[in-house]
Structure 1
Amino acid sequence: MGGAVLRTTTQVRALTPDDLPELRALLDRDRLVNLFVRNRIDATGLQTRWLGGQVWGYFEDGTLVSACHAGTNLVPVEATPAAIEAFAERVLADNIRPSSVVGLRSTVLPLWELLEPRWGPARSPRLDQPFMVIDHDSKLRPDPRVRQVVMDEFDTIYPACVAMFTEEVGVDPEVGNRSGYRARVSQLISHGWSFAIIEDGQVVFKTEVGAATPYACQLQGVYVHPDLRGRGIAGPAIAAVVEQVRRTIAPVVTLYVNDHNTAARRAYERAGFQQTTTFASILL
C-alpha cells in the first residue's frame, strides 16, 4: 500500500496588527528589496485606515510564506509561484485596481502575466529596472550646494516635483488628486526627506527619500532642470545626498531606475551605486 499523501493547506487573508511580528520577520529576509512595504507597515501598524489598503498574507500550513501590499501600489513580497497565483486570484476577485504593480522583476512579471488578460494592456510597462545600492559615502566630491528643503520653499520646489513626475510617470499628478500630491510633497519636506540645489529661485537639482527604515532608505524623483542637463550636475549632487542621508536617515541608500535611462544610470554609478538585482514596474 502507498503512503498517505500529505496535503498542504493554503490560505490568503488580510493581515492584522497581530501578524506584525511574523510579517516583519518575512520582510527582514531582504531588508533592501522589501524596504517600501516595511516602511508602510512601520508607519501604519497595519491599521487599515492609515494603510489605505491591505497587506495580504499567503500561508502554508499556518505559516506566513509570502505577502502582498494591496493599495495604490500592488507589491509582492517574498512571493513564491504558488503565492503569486493566489494573490492574482485575490486581486481579481476583490476587483482591486491599483495604479501600478511594482517589485522584483522575478515576481512582478509572472503576476502581471496572470492579471494582464483582465487589465491589459499596461499604460507603461517598465520591465527592466536596475535596483542599485550604496552603503558608503561616495568617492565623488559632493556638491556643497545640496541641502534639505524647508517648508517656506514649498512653492519653489513643487513645480519641479510636478514636472519630474509628469516626465517620469507620463501623467500629471495634479489631475484627479491635486491635494493628495501636494500633501505628499509637503510631508516629505516636513520629514526632512526633500533635498535640492536652489539658486535664484530656480530648482537646479532635487530628489526625495520616498521610504525609509532603520536599515535603509530609497531615493525617488531625481531631477535636474532641463536647461542644465548634460553638465555633470547629477553625480556630485547625488553624492551629497548620499552623504547627508546616511548621516541623518539610514546607513544604506537604494534606488531603482529604468534600464534605458543611461544618463541617470551613469550618474548613479559614478556616485558609487551598484546594481544588486532587478525591479519591474507596470504602470496602469
Structure 2
Amino acid sequence: MGWRPAVRGARAPEGRRGPVARVLGPEAVAEARGVCAVDPVASVLAASRLDVADRAGLAAAGGQVWGYPEEGPLQAVCWAGANLVPVVPSTLSRAEADDAVAAFAAVARQQGRRSSSVVGEQRATLRLWELLSRVWPPPREVRTDQPSLVIDRAPDVAPDPHVRRSRPDELELVLPACVRMFTEEVGYSPVASGGSAYAARVRSLITEGRSFVRVDDGPDGPRVVFKAELGAVAGGVAQVQGVWVDPALRGSGLSVPGMAAVVELTRRTVAPVVSLYVNSYNAPALAAYRRVGFERSGSFATVLF
C-alpha cells in the first residue's frame, strides 16, 4: 500500500490548530539524520531507514519521514513505514516533546494506521499511542517497558566459537528458525499468508552479513540451535533482534556465549556499539545479557497490531 502525503495544518480535536508536522523530502534527509544522531541508540530504528533513504531514496526506504516543527530547523522526526518510530530527543523540554508527538499523532490519525507497530523510546512511543488509541483500532499487545541495553566493549564471557555468520546457501536452514522465533515473539507466523516478503528480509540479512547462527548436527541433519540478526544498523550502533535458542536446548548454556560471539563479530566489522531491547518481564533474557556485559541505557515501548 502506498503512502499518501500528509495533510498539513490539521486541526486539533477541540477545533484549535495544534502543533503541525511536515512531510520531509529528500533534501531534508541529512537534517533528519542529524536529529537521530543526538541519541544513536534510541533512534537506530529510524536512522537505519534514513540511511537507506540517503543512499537510494525515500521510496526505496519504504516509507515517509515526518519532521517537527512545520517550519524552521527540525527538533524531532518520525519514521512512518512498516513501523511508526518517533524520534524525540531528550534535549527537548517536556512541552516541546509533547508538541512534537502531538504533531506526529495528527498526521498519523489523518493517514490511518499503515504500520504493524509503533515502537521507539518509551515516553514518546506511549504518548504517541495514547493520542492514536482514540481513533486507531485496538492493538494486539502493548509492551510498555522494554529495557534498552548496550555494550561498547569486549564481552565479559568467552564467545561461542561455533557461532558465525550465516551463509547465503543456508537460507532454507535459517528461515525456519527465524519463523519459529517470530511466531513465539509476536504471536503469529510471518509466512501464514505466503511469506515471500519475510523470506526476502531474511535473505537480505544473510547477504549483508547481519545474520548469525550456530548450526549443530541433529538426528535429521544440520539444524540451527542459536541465531540472532542485526535488525538495524546506523550511527555506529547495531541493534540485535531475533535472538533465539532451539526450545529443546534452552537452559543448556547456549545463549550467553552465543550473544558474546554476536557482540564480538559485530564490533569487529559492523559497529562499535551493540544494542538490543527486551521485555522487562523476561528475567532469563535480561540476566543472560547482563552476563555478557550489556548495560541499561534507557527504555523502549512497542505497540503491536
Q: What residue is the counterpart of 1:73 in the other structure?
A: 83
Shift of 1:61: 4.9
Secondary structure of 1:64's aligned partner: coil
Amino acid at match of 1:97: R
Q: C-alpha offsets along residues 136-184 of structure 1, whole Å, 9 cap, x if unaligned?
A: 0112011111001101111111100000000001111002351100000
Check whether the contact 1:10–1:61 (CA below 8 A) recurs between aligned residues: no
Counting only pairs closer than 5 Å after superposition, residues 200-279 of structure 1 correspond to structure 2 as 200=217, 201-279=222-300
Q: What residue is the counterpart of 2:118 in the other structure?
A: 101
Distance change in 2, residues 1:276/1:214 (3 Å): closer
Q: Any gaps of 5 or more consecutive residues in structure 1?
A: 1-8
Secondary structure of 1:137's aligned partner: coil
Check whether the contact 2:113–2:136 (CA below 8 A) recurs between aligned residues: no
Shift of 1:123: 0.2
Counting only pairs closer than 5 Å after superposition, residues 15-34 of structure 1 correspond to structure 2 as 15-34=24-43
Distance change in 2, residues 1:150/1:177 (3 Å): same
RMSD: 1.7
Q: 2:170 aligns with which of 153, 157, 176?
A: 153
Shift of 1:206: 0.3
Q: What residue is the counterpart of 1:82 in the other structure?
A: 99
Q: 2: distance between equivalents of 1:96 and 1:159?
A: 29
Shift of 1:89: 1.1
Q: 1: distance between equivalents of 2:77 and 2:195?
A: 31
Counting only pairs closer than 5 Å after superposition, residues 1-80 of structure 1 correspond to structure 2 as 11-45=20-54, 47-59=57-69, 61-78=71-88, 80=97
Q: 2: distance between equivalents of 1:22 and 1:187?
A: 28
Shift of 1:92: 0.9
Q: 1: distance between equivalents of 2:162 and 2:49?
A: 31
Amino acid at match of 1:204: V
Secondary structure of 2:143's aligned partner: strand
Q: What residue is the counterpart of 2:143 in the other structure?
A: 126
Count of residue pairs the alignment pairs up: 277
Distance change in 2, residues 1:101/1:30 (3 Å): same
Check whether the contact 2:85–2:118 (CA below 8 A) recurs between aligned residues: yes
Q: Does residue 189 of the first structure (1) align with residue 198 of the second (2)?
A: no
Check whether the contact 1:16–1:47 (CA below 8 A) recurs between aligned residues: no
Amino acid at match of 1:270: R
Residue identity over aligned pairs, in percent, reads 46
Check whether the contact 2:26–2:58 (CA below 8 A) recurs between aligned residues: no
Q: 1: distance between equivalents of 2:52 and 2:202?
A: 17
Q: What residue is the counterpart of 1:173 in the other structure?
A: 190
Tell me which stretches of 4 or more aligned residues in structure 1 moved more than 3 Å. none
Q: C-alpha offsets along residues 84-122 of structure 1, whole Å, 9 cap, x if unaligned?
A: 111111111112331100001111111111111222432
Check whether the contact 2:109–2:136 (CA below 8 A) recurs between aligned residues: no
Q: 2: distance between equivalents of 1:154 and 1:25?
A: 36
Shift of 1:21: 2.8
Secondary structure of 1:118's aligned partner: coil
Distance change in 2, residues 1:90/1:214 (3 Å): closer
Amino acid at match of 1:247: R
Which stretch of structure 1 is more off in the superposition, 200-209 or 51-60? 51-60
Which stretch of structure 1 is more off in the superposition, 54-63 or 25-34? 54-63
Amino acid at match of 2:210: W
Amino acid at match of 1:62: G
TM-score (norm 1): 0.93
Q: What residue is the counterpart of 1:5 in the other structure?
A: none
Amino acid at match of 1:150: R
Q: C-alpha offsets along residues 54-106 of structure 1, whole Å, 9 cap, x if unaligned?
A: 00001165121111111110000116100111111111111233110000111
TM-score (norm 2): 0.87
Q: 2: distance between equivalents of 1:78 and 1:27?
A: 9
Q: 2: distance between equivalents of 1:219 and 1:60?
A: 34
Q: Any gaps of 5 or more consecutive residues in structure 2?
A: 1-17, 90-96
